[in-house]
Amino acid sequence: MRKFLVILFVVSIFTLFFAQQLPPGIPRNETFIADNLTGRAANPGNFNIWATWVWNDRGIQNLLLEPLWCVEYATGEIINALAAEPPKYNSDFTELTIKLRKGVYWSDGVPFTADDLIYTIELVKNTPGMGYNSQMQQVKEIVKVDDY
């Protein structure tokens, strides 16, 4: 019995040692911890939002991708992200004006502009099987007014 208790004690110590939340020396104020509150991600190795077979509503992709707008679910408020202002529709909802936020850059330092948005919409529209392809078929034309 004593041998069992010693082994149990040693295993408990090792468990506590390896169960620490952060490695030593990492300041808490420089640590970001994201908890997946909606369940287990079936394929955490693929965060491709354009792949239609990926279940991307678990919220993980929100840590990697920035949309034009977000919605505050509690109030319905539209929050500008890459867009500088809320979407503007004409009276019959056949035209949408998007004003982009200035000062947004890709990881290589190149500015994010209307050309990037146009490229993305055209790519999705012209690539069957790509996520949101059917929705982009509603877009008849894209007119660039300026870079933002």
Chain segment 96-115, per-residue pLDDT in tens: 999 999 999 999 999 999 99
Asked if residue 56 and residue 71 are part of one domain, the reply reads no
pLDDT for residue 122: 96
Domain total in the chain? 2
Asked if residue 87 and residue 58 are part of one domain, the reply reads no
Q: CB neighbours (10 Å) of residue 52?
A: 13
CA dist 109 and 56 (Å) reads 27
Asked if residue 26 and residue 79 are part of one domain, the reply reads no
* Residue ranges in the chain whose pLDDT is less than 70: 14, 16-24, 26, 28, 30-47, 52-63
Identify the CATH number of the domain in which residue 102 sits.
3.90.76.10
Model confidence pTM above 0.85: no
The phi and psi torsions of 77 (rounded to 5 degrees) equal -70, 135
Q: Is 17 exposed, middle or buried (0-12, 13-18, 19+ CB in 10 A)?
A: exposed
Chosen domain end from 62, 83, 106: 62
The residue count of the chain comes to 148
Show the CA angle centred on residue 107, arms to residues 106 and 110, nearest 5°: 45
Asked if residue 99 and residue 32 are part of one domain, the reply reads no
Range of the domain at 138: 66-148
Asked if residue 56 and residue 114 are part of one domain, the reply reads no
pLDDT for residue 40: 60
- The 10s digit of each residue's pLDDT in 14-23 is 676 666 565 6
pLDDT for residue 58: 57
